[in-house]
A and B are shown apart, each in its own frame.
Chain A
């Protein structure tokens, strides 16, 4: 259960490839079904506006799942993720059009632990030019 990437090859400051993940209303409906989170703020515009949101917003856990892909694809083995945490700081607003929204994720190795052979990857997660997750960090066991 370790990644294909070698611990020794990774340096502090190593950047992970930036990725963008589109998200449409249809994606949110699908995620609601798969995750069991049917909160109407994620699919019902009228309801979302009634509770003071600008529009339908993505599930925070959907955004967290997309951000993780930058780490799991880099590591090779998703089972190499030892810790993963985020703070939900700003909603990803998803308009009802053909475009939807875009989640942009970048990451950088911020720390190495020689004893555990793990690295900490700090992620920057944005949508519409603003950070949507804070303290977004994953600890990954490397080979």
Chain B
């Protein structure tokens, strides 16, 4: 069943702060095999003009996707999560995420479309630091594949 269009524009309350730790960034960088010292060595990061180690560009997805869970699991929206695949992902950065950041996310439903029986849901995640400064905006498109005919 198609999702309710009236949910477009709906904004979900800001998440509790996610504190970005140096060791979490290191763990993530190791998991993607990326040895760039800006991710693990504070001095190397400082040499590039950053106050502390920075996170790889896609690191913040873990934070925004958790926030998007409020949308995905909204019982009123009624998305069938077992049929969801990740369609598109975009990030627009004001600055890189860095160790020590306390990030909060506000998720907004940007659009709901129906394409060939699939529900296509676009969620924007606006990420701020503890000073209320914009850090990055994540645009996530999820596709709920149409249920097969019984």
Q: Which residues of chain A have a CB within 8 Å of any CB of chain B? A: 1-2, 21, 27, 30-31, 33-37, 60-62, 64-66, 68-69, 72-73, 76-79, 81-88, 135
Closest-CB distance, A131 to chain B (whole angstroms): 15
Determine whether the beta carbon of B58 is less than 8 Å from that of A64: yes
Residues of chain A contacted by B87 (CB below 8 angstroms) = 87-88
Residues of chain A contacted by B58 (CB below 8 angstroms) = 61, 64-65, 68, 84
Q: Which residues of chain B have a CB within 8 Å of any CB of chain A? A: 27-28, 30-34, 36, 38-39, 48-50, 54, 56-58, 61-62, 65-66, 85-93, 95-96, 139
Q: Dominant SS at the B interface?
A: mixed
Determine whether the beta carbon of B95 is less than 8 Å from that of A61: no
Residues of chain A contacted by B28 (CB below 8 angstroms) = 34-35
Bound Cα distance A73, B33 (Å): 13
Determine whether the beta carbon of B91 is less than 8 Å from that of A78: no
16 A–B pairs (Cβ distance < 8 Å), ordered by A: A1-B48, A1-B95, A1-B96, A37-B62, A61-B86, A62-B32, A65-B32, A65-B34, A73-B36, A77-B48, A82-B92, A83-B92, A83-B93, A85-B91, A86-B88, A88-B89
Residues of chain B contacted by A72 (CB below 8 angstroms) = 34, 36, 56-57
Which residue on B lies nearest to A69, using beta carbons? B34
Bound Cα distance A73, B66 (Å): 28
Q: How many pairs of A and B residues are in contact by the CB < 8 Å rule?
A: 103
Top 3 nearest A-B pairs (CB, nearest first) are A85-B90, A34-B31, A79-B96
Which residue on A lies nearest to B55, using beta carbons? A78
Closest-CB distance, A123 to chain B (whole angstroms): 13
B32 contacts which of A37, A60, A69 (Cβ < 8 Å)?
A: A69
Q: A68-B58, A79-B48 are in contact. Are A84 and B32 (CB under 8 A)?
A: no
Determine whether the beta carbon of A31 is less than 8 Å from that of B62: no
Determine whether the beta carbon of A78 is less than 8 Å from that of B38: yes
Closest-CB distance, A48 to chain B (whole angstroms): 13
Residues of chain B contacted by A1 (CB below 8 angstroms) = 48-50, 95-96
Determine whether the beta carbon of B32 is less than 8 Å from that of A66: yes
Determine whether the beta carbon of B95 is less than 8 Å from that of A84: no
Determine whether the beta carbon of A78 is less than 8 Å from that of B85: no
Residues of chain B contacted by A76 (CB below 8 angstroms) = 48
Which residue on B lies nearest to A86, using beta carbons? B89
Residues of chain A contacted by B49 (CB below 8 angstroms) = 1-2, 77, 79
Which residue on A lies nearest to B47, using beta carbons? A77
Q: A73-B36, A85-B89, A88-B89 are in contact. Are A78 and B56 (CB under 8 A)?
A: yes
Closest-CB distance, B78 to chain A (whole angstroms): 20
Residues of chain A contacted by B89 (CB below 8 angstroms) = 60-61, 64, 85-86, 88
